[in-house]
Amino acid sequence: MDLSNDPRPRRSRLSLRVAVMGGIAVALFAVLFCRLWNLQVLSGDKYLAEAKNNRTREYKVIAPRGDILDRNGEVLVDNRTSLALQLNTEKLPADAAEERAELAGLGQLTHMTVRKVRRTIAESEEVAAGAPVTLRKDVGYDLVAYVEENQDEFPGVAVQRVFVRHYPDGSRAAHILGTVGEIEEEELKEPQYKGLEPGDEIGQAGAEYAYDKYLRGQPGLTRIQVNALGQPTPNGQLVSTPPTPGNSLKLTIDGDVQTAGEAGLGARGLPGAFISMNIDNGQILAMGSNPTYDPSDLIEPSQAQVNELYRDEVLAPLVDRATESAYPTGSIFKIITALAALENGVITPDEVIQDNGKIEVGTQEFTNAGEVAHGAVEMRRALQVSSDVYFYLLGLDMWKTNDLQEWAHKLGIGRPSGLDLPEEGESLLPSKQWRNQLYKEGLTDRPWSAGDNIQLATGQGDLQTNPLQMALAYAALGNGGKIVTPHVGLEVEDEAGRVLKEFEFKPQRRFHINPGYRSVILEGLHAAAQEGDGTAAGVFGGFPIPIAGKTGTAQRPGHADQSWFAALSPYPNPRIVTIATVEEGGFGAESAAPVVLDILEAIYDKQASAVSSAGGNE
């Protein structure tokens, strides 16, 4: 039978197709319904909030950092408003050629190549994608006017007002004050910077770094309403929370004494450093280094400034020579040798040694400066005329023991000072164990010898220390055996000047110094500074405040003699230690002593001014 013309199979296939298409349509409708249900009902609140957020923009309002003041309330650092050129990368042209043209134009305005502009954008995007990129700070009003007049050429570019640190006196106390800068990506992970964001500024050096948590304020917030183009609508400000300024930091520094020290050191025209400190509580009255720098140069440094500040290894203006240097000290080290010898019974205060101008140890000869013979000398006289032979012999007597090194270490040489600033260099107190270990490792050609200890006894040889450590040693002599904690932080104040916190720095350690031995050494130092043929009597002989002081002339390989002077004042009950050193400055009385004189005149200005006006000082 032929069934090819039967219509029933054809109708069955059509029905099947209709059913399949209908099922697919129902399934799609079900999916669409579920999606709409999710968007409108289940996630409606979420997307409504996001839609509202698209209509608003939030801007962080940077808080000004607190001022830094000297001990008398004089402003050392405050703030000024500055203009910063910022780029919103989301508004850059989509066309590659137009984008490059805008970046090239921005490069000309900011003195950057297109490659550097792109690198700056990329670095900013790594830590804060979508945030405005600061291309240049401290822009001038001419540039601002140009950008505003040619806004069509620079879409996404805006000028924002920001706070910038202001240094009323330029370079004064630069190494103490330090600098600020934008937080680095790695720093954001550190606990003390919790809550900070890319672009926030923190202290990077000096007191700015050490006391950052007090100086750094709390940012504010401004929320505004924008239209579909992201532009603010009229009367669109929704909420504004003002920033909380940082607190002020008062330092122990006396601005007048700091100025005197920097002027005196600068007048020498040579690298060097100074420090003046209270020997009872460790408060630093002044501390400086030359060459120095103006911290404002680091806000937007030019390439020439970068080369001068960071790449000049000889002048190294960013290095604080008061705390980061490593020098032999010459004869100002002799007070340590004197204490070690007296306390360990190597010599008595009145025991006489014949100084013939030189001694011979084996095949090596050790001489006084200029081979001058001082004749019969005891402790006081040896300090007054700075007899090297006297102290050579003490070093020779102690070379097989560790007495000299133990007392030097006890007095702070070769160990951290405890200073509340981050900048402190490494030092070296040479010893038998140290050199013998080097010899064992093949790093030197000989083991420890008597000559090494003889050299150390007069502050020479391999000794490497700095003015701060020597100030601690002299302070301990002056106060009878207390190693203070040197510091520049005094207190924190609010905007109204109310004291919020006073910093307390306890002594690091105490040890016994025989009062009789201390008195003998101070007598010798007083004679050296102000009596007869004392090594500094020509500088301090007419100074109205009695002082105890010691000159030092250190030999540095590859350099001319380095000048040192250390003073304790007033004698015989000192309160202040003052130390200065001048590289290649010659004898201690030639360069360093006049710097100390300038500082002491500022400290004791009423008494010293009378002598200065009368021409009583040489």
State pLDDT tens for residues 219-276: 877 666 666 555 556 665 566 788 889 999 999 999 999 999 999 999 999 999 999 9
The pLDDT confidence band at residue 613, using thresholds 50, 70 and 90, is very low
What structural domains does the chain harbor?
57-251 (3.90.1310.10), 255-614 (3.40.710.10)
Distances (CA, A) of 306 to 11, 13, 209, 258: 89, 85, 21, 26
What is the 3 state secondary structure string of 523-536?
HHHHHHHHCCCCCC
DSSP 48-96: HHHHHHHTEEEEEEPPPPPPEE-TTS-EEEEEEEEEEEEE-GGGS-SSH
Q: Summarize pLDDT for 130-185 with one digit per residue, the tens.
A: 567 878 777 777 787 887 778 778 888 878 777 889 999 999 999 999 999 888 88
Task: Using only the alpha carbons of the chain, give its radius of gyration.
Answer: 36
Which two tokens mark 269?
A: 């025209």
**Are 95 and 277 a contacting pair, CB within 8 Å?**
no
Alpha carbons 420 and 423: distance in angstroms, whole number: 9
Contact 268, 510 (CB under 8 A): no
552 — alpha (psi -120 to 50), left (phi > 0) or beta? beta
Residue 286: the pLDDT is 98
- Measured CA distances, 429 to 327, 394, 402, 543 (Å): 11, 17, 12, 35
Q: In a 3-state reduction of DSSP, which class is residue 587?
A: coil
420 has pLDDT over 80 = yes
- DSSP 8-state class, residue 508: S
Q: What percent of the chain has pLDDT over 70?
A: 87
Q: Is the pLDDT of residue 610 over 50?
A: no
Would you state the structure tokens that stand for residue 42, as one six-digit string? 């289940």
Confidence of residue 52 (pLDDT cuts 50, 70, 90): low
pLDDT score, position 141: 77
pLDDT digits (tens, 9 = 90+) for 495-544: 889 999 999 999 999 999 999 999 999 999 999 999 999 999 999 999 99
Q: How many residues does the chain have?
A: 618
Q: Does the structure show a pLDDT above 60 at 53? A: no
**Is 171 in contact with 292 (CB distance < 8 Å)?**
yes
| Complete DSSP assignment for 230-282 | SPEEEEEEEEEE--BPPPEEEES--HHHHHHHHHHHHHHTS-EEEEEEETTT-
- Three-state DSSP at 410 gives helix
d(CA 485, CA 431): 25
Q: Whose CA is closest to 63, among 79, 87, 77?
A: 79
Question: Across 528-587, where does the E strand assignment appear?
Answer: 548-554, 562-569, 576-582
Q: Positive or negative CA dihedral for 221, 227, 232, 238?
A: negative
pLDDT: is 611 or 516 the higher one? 516
Cα atoms in the Cβ-side hemisphere of radius 13 Å centred on 112: 22
* Helix or strand run (H / E) with residue 482: strand 482-483
CA–CA separation, 293 vs 308, rounded Å? 10
- Judge if the upstream peptide bond of residue 572 is cis by omega within 30 degrees of 0: yes
Measure the CA–CA gap between 281 and 575, rounded to whole angstroms. Answer: 10
Examine the pLDDT at 427 and tell me if it is beyond 80: yes
Q: In Å, how far from its chain's centre is CA 114?
A: 34
Task: Give the least confident one: 137-141, 475-479, 555-559.
Answer: 137-141
pLDDT of 337 above 70? yes
What is the rounded distance in angstroms from the CA atom of residue 192 to the CA atom of residue 179? 18
- pLDDT at residue 319 above 60? yes
